[in-house]
Chains A and B, each alone.
Chain A
Amino acid sequence: MDTLLTADVAANSPRYRRKSSTFVDAIHDMPETGELAPAQLYSTESGRLFHSGRIAIATVGLPARGKTHVSVALARYLRWLGVKTRVFHLGDYRREHVGDGKDVPDDYFFVNASASTVLLRQKILKKCRDDIYHFLNHENGQIAIYDAVNPLAAGRRSLAREFGKHDVETLFIESACDDEKIIEENVRSVKISSPDYVGWSADDAVKHYLARMSAKIPHFETMEETDLNYIKMINAGERISVNNCSFGYLSHRIVFYLLNLHIKSRHTYFARAGTSKQEDSFKTDTSLSEEGKEYANKMGETLIRHREKERQAMVDRGGPNVPLKMLTVWTSTRRRTVETSQYLYENGYRVRQRSQMSQLNPGVCEKKSERRIRLEYPEEVAKHEADPYHHRYPRAESYHDLAVRLEPIILELEREQNDLLIIAHESVLRVLYGYLMACNATDIPSLSFPRNEIIEIIPASYNNEATRITIPGIQEKLIPSSPEDIKIPVPPSGAVTPMGLDSSTPKRNTGSPLNGVATPSEPGDGQQLLIERALRGDR
């Protein structure tokens, strides 16, 4: 049936619901109802979890304190847990209202604005709040994140009262910051990525931004209202002060997450481990093969070169001539990932091993070809095809198990301040990528990380972006998924081979891990490869 899927149908069918590619962060898309989130432990009929009721999270803070970043990051984590969360950026409503390329009146952010500006402000506010209520009351939403400045105590009190009338609990999160460096870095990243400044020159944007800030400063009151629930993050999480009136499970969980979050921006790179001597064995933890070592060196070289080139490009664009951010490497504790980091380790990069990052346990499927699995476990294969994310083969882990096991890694990922290269098995990369790019659970098992590419995730306060860095000179046979991957996520019914997936997914040449573009481009090649592997596995 897959062959019948046209690009249109595929784009609109639930499984391939993502209209954009998985290279685009889906944090601002709403998932289909009834779909389980990657790390969701259970579901309820109402769609709400933990008996925590409905919560409006309102950000508080001067511009360039990382409010949008905190809102988006928090939404990413809550959705990952399965809590229906949506961010409402007041700025979006402002832009929508005044139209593309136009700006709000000069006194828009002023306390003593003109009557017409106040009217405009109220109109924009009303639209945003109406959308929040609609989400909470009619779309089974549980948490609405209201991303706005909320500068005054009186305004915050009346906001909490208003939400209270709708039976919605309000939690304020203030980003406070007195470290100029953090503010400046934030201004730079906000001015580059915020839709507010599309078409502006960098200098004008900074000037406008700073003007906007200084206009705010005299009218801003930091949170001290002991009658409200609030979390105050000071200097990017150095200190967190919590005032608790009626915290539920979710509010505590949010503090837990914020304890690990910082607002500095850094890049994350994903790379596969090299091939090992006994590629199809999970239990024997073998070393890299000669080809694997060659791959490891090329990957390391490419990354170092790429980073230097990026730095140079920034200097050429007139950016500051500063040294690169430090790069830390994380591997699992399995030999082949550790050995893949060897080149970088020898070049002075810090390598940390994380035991939670070991690959998906293949259980009974270990050392078995796809053909044999189909023969021996036809029922399991059918179940797997119906739900590749949640199904687990006997004695194996599902992707969902892996996602739950990776929770500490996800929080450490948020905590890490250096740039980060993650070398891991493809199954682990899929899940971590899925978190950073807000992929659907259904998409995660079929994300593909060809070996001739390093995936780079560039954070921005609005959403993350992924790009690929090609590693030149990698042998064709090393590029596709490792054999055990083929055996575990068995392809959707109808597809002849796992490679067949990419011939049916839309936009196969736009380069997304979902459509696995770097797997052999001719379906025939893929089949040939699979047959070879099947033979090897059966021997």
Chain B
Amino acid sequence: MVTYYKKTNGEGVQVEDTRIAVIMVGLPARGKSLIAQKVVRYLAWLSISAKAFNVGSYRRADTPQPTADFFDTTNTDGERLRHAAAEAAVADMIKWFNNDYGVVAILDATNSTKARRRWVKQRCDANNIETLYVESKCDQEELIMSNIMEVKTTSPDYKGQDPEAAAKDFRNRIRNYEKVYQTIDEDEKDLTYVKLIDVGGQVIINQIKDYLQSRVVYYLMNLHIKPRSIWLSRHGESNFNLEGKIGGDADISVRGEMYAKALPDLVASSVAPDQKLTIWTSTLKRTIQTARFLAASPKGYDKLEWKALDELDSGVCDGLTYQEIADRYPEDFRARDDDKYNYRYRGGESYRDVVIRLEPIIMELERSENIIIVTHQAVLRCIYAYYMNVPQEQSPWMEVPLHTLIKLTPRAYSTEEVRFKGNIPAVSTFRTKGSTAKHQ
């Protein structure tokens, strides 16, 4: 008989019975953890269950802050403990696949020898899990340095230590790994792998087996590991905001105009003077007006308008207040509160729809360096949710005040957030569940 059971994962990108272990390969300070975190976030954002297993954090259970000697291959004690950590991480990963219907796991470790990679493959093969090796190979001194600086300040291995001593120790650790490191080569041509050389400058993709693998590779190709930040802002207060109406293509209000004028200084306070910055807006008047003083600033920032950044289309409710929606479409109003992420306005969009149309934006964001995005509440919530890993049940209810600039900086272990208040009064457009208040 044909069996009927198949697991699905929402309506975005779906997978069937594929289970993939993404095995990171590379020397320390090549951005492996950053890549692992990003892949997890991206897949979760697309409703695919994903989890990273960081071997380092298993090792830290026994050896919280080892010195570089620990990573010397001639140190048998260190070797044994490191192998035990890898064992534990792989065992947990397999358990997660089997018990929690995991779809994509990322094994975040150096996996620097051919023998280690074979061992991981055998463990996965025995459990019907596909393996995809992702090697980050990079010899650009500048990039490695900036990663070392990053690690010494953010890694739990060096918490509370003198930064200079930490950097020195970390470099010795890298040297110990370099002694045994084997890059993926022709001996391993039976493996499914991606080799990212010099941060995507050159990519070799071998034996891709299915759609989901190709999707992960596609995402990886868009990534870079150079330091960068993203600034997010809603448009300045609009005339529709004042009236409590949603959607439309209104001009910004007098106070919105004040925010637009204040934006260049607000941005300048958090951007290094020599940093390049590109401005992205939607195609609606209120974001273009808000960004126009910034665009005209003597820094000569480039500006692009994206249709995909336009506000969530509220269909027949466009131009109505929440009270009017509750009066005219009471069922819809309730349905939206029940499941705001999936609710689709009549003739309009849901948050899920917005996520799908933002895919090119996310890819472009990953490719780019410093970007400021001036957009709308719902779109900003989706982009924010991607960077901060906010679950779908929460993201549509997040409060994102007007006249506030958010700076996000992706780091190896998490994304850092700083908010800058414009100190220009505005109405609140935030609506709590069940409320029809015009302004709260």
Contacts and interface: CB of A to CB of B under 8 A. Distances in A.
Contact of A41 (B6, B214, B357): B357
Interface of B: 2, 4, 6, 8, 11, 13-16, 189, 200-208, 210-211, 214-215, 217-218, 221-222, 304, 306-308, 310, 344, 346-347, 356-357, 360, 363-364, 367
A341 B2 contact: yes
A181 interface: no
Interface residues of A, number: 49
B308 A42 contact: yes
Interface of A: 41-44, 50-51, 226, 237-245, 247-249, 252-253, 255-256, 259-260, 333, 335, 338-339, 341-342, 345, 351-356, 383, 392, 394-395, 404-405, 407-408, 411-412, 415
Nearest to A334: B4
Contacts of A238: 206-207
Contacts of B356: 41, 404
Contact of B218 (A253, A333, A395): A253
Contact of B204 (A242, A247, A345, A411): A242
A273 to B, nearest CB: 13
Contacts of A51: 304, 306, 364
A41 B242 CA distance: 31
Nearest to A233: B205
Contact of B202 (A43, A50, A242): A242
Given A237-B208, A247-B367, 13 more contacts: A239-B204, A239-B206, A240-B205, A240-B208, A252-B367, A255-B218, A338-B2, A339-B2, A351-B2, A355-B8, A355-B14, A394-B346, A412-B211
A455 B6 CA distance: 27
B318 to A, nearest CB: 15
B6 A355 contact: yes
15 contacts: A51-B364, A238-B206, A241-B205, A242-B203, A249-B367, A252-B218, A256-B214, A335-B4, A345-B2, A354-B16, A356-B14, A408-B215, A412-B210, A415-B210, A415-B211
Nearest to B221: A252
B201 A249 contact: no
Contacts of B208: 237, 240, 259-260
Contacts of B306: 51
Contact of A256 (B13, B15, B218): B218
Contacts of A342: 2
B217 A242 contact: no
Which 4 pairs across A and B sit closest by C-beta, in order of nearness? A256-B218, A259-B214, A242-B203, A42-B307
A353 B218 contact: no
Contact of A408 (B14, B200, B310, B360): B14
A394 B201 CA distance: 47
Given A43-B307, A356-B14, A394-B346, A50 B207 contact: no
A244 B202 contact: yes
A41 B200 CA distance: 27
Contact of B205 (A42, A44, A239, A245): A239
A259 B206 contact: no
Given A249-B360, A353-B16, A239 B207 contact: yes
Contacts of A353: 2, 4, 6, 16
Contacts of A50: 360, 364
Nearest to A261: B214
Contacts of A253: 218, 363
A243 B204 CA distance: 9
Contacts of B346: 394
A111 B6 CA distance: 57
A244 B54 CA distance: 30
Interface centre among B207, B304, B347 (most CB of A within 10 A): B347
B308 A41 contact: yes
Given A408-B13, A411-B211, A333 B308 contact: no
Given A50-B360, A249-B360, A249-B367, A260 B214 contact: yes
A164 to B, nearest CB: 19
Contacts of A260: 208, 211, 214
A124 B385 CA distance: 53
Contacts of A415: 210-211
A57 B304 CA distance: 24
Given A338-B2, A351-B2, A411-B211, A44 B307 contact: yes
Nearest to B206: A239
Contacts of B360: 41, 50, 249
Nearest to A245: B201
A259 B217 contact: yes
A244 B363 CA distance: 16
Contacts of A259: 205, 208, 214, 217-218
A44 to B, nearest CB: 6
Contact of B6 (A244, A333, A395): A333
A256 B203 CA distance: 12
Contacts of B363: 249, 252-253
Contacts of B13: 407-408
Contacts of B6: 333, 353, 355
A253 B218 CA distance: 7
A66 to B, nearest CB: 17
A87 B6 CA distance: 40
B29 to A, nearest CB: 22
Contacts of B347: 383, 392
B203 A241 contact: yes
Contacts of B15: 408
Nearest to B215: A256
A360 to B, nearest CB: 13
Contacts of A244: 200-203, 221
Nearest to A410: B211
A243 B307 contact: no
Contacts of A335: 4
Contacts of B16: 352-355
B321 to A, nearest CB: 21
A383 B310 CA distance: 23
A242 B307 contact: no
A523 to B, nearest CB: 33
B18 to A, nearest CB: 11
A352 B15 CA distance: 12
A311 to B, nearest CB: 27
B429 to A, nearest CB: 24
B365 to A, nearest CB: 10
A312 to B, nearest CB: 30
A252 B222 contact: yes
Contacts of A248: 367
A207 to B, nearest CB: 35
A394 B347 CA distance: 7
Contacts of B210: 412, 415
Nearest to B212: A408
Contacts of A411: 211, 214
A248 B363 CA distance: 9
A539 B218 CA distance: 51
B221 A255 contact: yes
Contacts of B201: 243-245
Interface centre among B304, B356, B360 (most CB of A within 10 A): B360
A335 B304 CA distance: 48
A460 B71 CA distance: 57
Contacts of A43: 307
A249 B364 contact: yes
Contacts of B344: 395
Interface centre among A41, A335, A411 (most CB of B within 10 A): A41
Contacts of B203: 241-242, 244, 255
B2 A243 contact: no
A54 to B, nearest CB: 16
A243 B202 contact: yes
A226 B201 CA distance: 10
B14 A242 contact: no
Contacts of A404: 356
Contacts of B211: 260, 408, 411-412, 415
A260 B208 CA distance: 8
A83 to B, nearest CB: 11
